[in-house]
Amino acid sequence: MDKISRSPAMTDVARLAGVSHQTVSRVLNDHPNVKEQTRIRVRAAIAELGYRPNRAARALVTGRSQLIGVVARNSTLYGPATMLSEFEQAAADAGFAVSVGSVRELDRSSMGAVVERHLDQRVAGLVVIANTASAVEALAEIPEDLPVVFIDGDPASGRPGVTVDQVAGARAATRHLLDSGHETVWHVSGPTDWFDSAGRIQGWRQTLEEAGREVPPLLSADWSAAEGYRTGQMLARMPEVTAIFTANDHLALGILRALSERGRRVPHDVALVGFDDVPEAAYFIPPLTTVRQAFGDVARAALGLLLGQMGDEAGTARQIVVPPQLVIRESAPSPAR
């Protein structure tokens, strides 16, 4: 690398400012015990040379980069996209870059490979969106001293993590439909190996049982409108089905279409509650009653927990549970309307 075209390093700044390279480092890292006059001189030299720190050099010495690794399943859904976006913003505000590693399947091998890549980069911490038990298994290889936070992991685990209270969300949705006068509530779930799905199923089932209502057979699906349409075509054929709670808003959209095709009016004939509150939910026909997950809050809480681990190991091995919120719109209006 030719001397003329080499980027200026700290030693160049030091020479120009007439100090040691260590003092330049002290100025850049806001060390105490540096005279203000010295700081000014160093900063002027930095500006004059257009010096840019090399994070790789710092990472090499400290053993930790200024990167946070995210491990997530490849998804274009609103929830994951929102969390990633909010997380990146919050991390940037805290001085970290975010490196994303995604997997096509939540299996041990795929996730293990992503974790390896992050470890090679000597990430300062990891955030793992671990929706299933098999995803969690993959993480056995993470060094014990590396800060890790789980999002949407197993609520019953002892690991540091942030989850939305899926059971409470499902209870609110189901309770709302029962309070509106429905005999029982049908549920279309997401993939049943996902912790989120399990929590929603549990909340739905508990609420029905506690109310002494019949628990209808579960319709299991994935997260797509296509699967909502498929299950909706079955539900629309059953006259006794007057209330449906779906595991997400896209499932609800598919069901809306199936009901429409069979002349089942919403909410007149069938009331419908979704889950997530994607921005479009308010513009479905009719606007969707749904359970809002505060994805942004989840992301920011996860970062807080991770930074806590990085700074002070005590008291951060905990789970933060973010409350969901029932948002009532026309697809399942309030009782006594």
Partner DNA sequence: AAACCTGATGTTATCGATAACATTTCGGCA
Partner DNA sequence: TGCCGAAATGTTATCGATAACATCAGGTTT
Binding site for DNA (CB under 7 A): 1, 6-7, 9-11, 18-23, 25-26, 28-29, 32-35, 37-38, 51-54, 57-58, 60-63
Query: Is residue 238 within the footprint of its own copies (CB under 8 A)?
Result: no
Question: Which residues, 6+ apart, have CB-to-CB distance to 77 below 8 Å?
Answer: 223, 248, 250
Question: Which residues, 6+ apart, have CB-to-CB distance to 23 below 8 Å?
Answer: 14, 17, 34, 38, 42
Within 13 A of 130's CA, how many CA atoms are on the CB side? 30
Nearest approach, Cβ of 87 to DNA (angstroms)? Answer: 25
Phi-psi region of 324 (alpha: psi -120 to 50; beta: other; left: phi over 0): beta
Q: Whose Cβ is closer to DNA: residue 20's or residue 334's?
A: 20
Q: Whose Cβ is closer to its own copies: residue 44's or residue 56's?
A: 56
Query: Is residue 265 within the footprint of its own copies (CB under 8 A)?
Result: no
**Dihedral (Cα; 177, 178, 180, 182), 10-degree rounding:** 100
Q: Whose Cβ is closer to DNA: residue 120's or residue 144's?
A: 120
Q: What distance in Å separates the CA atoms of residue 47 and residue 43, rounded to the nearest whole number? A: 6
Q: Whose Cβ is closer to its own copies: residue 8's or residue 155's?
A: 8
Tell me if 325 sits within 8 A of 306, measured CB to CB: no
Retrieve residue 41's tokens. Answer: 């001189």
Sheet bearing 219-220, strands edge to edge: 219-220, 186-189, 243-246, 271-273
Q: Whose Cβ is closer to DNA: residue 8's or residue 191's?
A: 8
Q: What is the size of the binding site for its own copies (CB under 8 A)?
A: 59
What size, in residues, is the chain?
337
CA angle 179, 185, 189 (to 5 degrees): 130
Tell me if 42 sits within 8 A of 13, measured CB to CB: yes
For its own copies, which stretch binds (CB under 8 A), given 125-133, 172-180, 206-214, 274-282?
Answer: 274-282
Nearest approach, Cβ of 120 to DNA (angstroms)? Answer: 9
Name the residue among 248, 228, 249 with its Cα closest to residue 131. 248
Nearest approach, Cβ of 15 to its own copies (angstroms)? Answer: 20
Per-residue contact flags (x/-) with its own copies for residues 2 to 41, judged by CB under 8 A: ----------------------------------------
From DNA, its own copies, none, interface partner of 211 (C-beta below 5 to 8 A by class) = none
| Phi, psi (rounded to 5 degrees) for 307 | -65, -35
Retrieve residue 6's tokens. Answer: 């080499």
Q: Whose Cβ is closer to its own copies: residue 117's or residue 237's?
A: 117
Tell me if 243 sits within 8 A of 270, measured CB to CB: yes
Q: Whose Cβ is closer to DNA: residue 65's or residue 82's?
A: 65
From DNA, its own copies, none, interface partner of 37 (C-beta below 5 to 8 A by class) = DNA
From DNA, its own copies, none, interface partner of 76 (C-beta below 5 to 8 A by class) = its own copies
Judged by CB under 8 A, the residue of 25, 38, 102, 134 near its own copies is 102
The binding site for its own copies (CB under 8 A) comprises 1, 52-57, 59-60, 63, 65-67, 74-78, 80-82, 84-85, 88-89, 92, 97-102, 104, 114, 116-122, 224-226, 228-229, 250, 253-254, 256-257, 260, 279-280, 282-285, 287
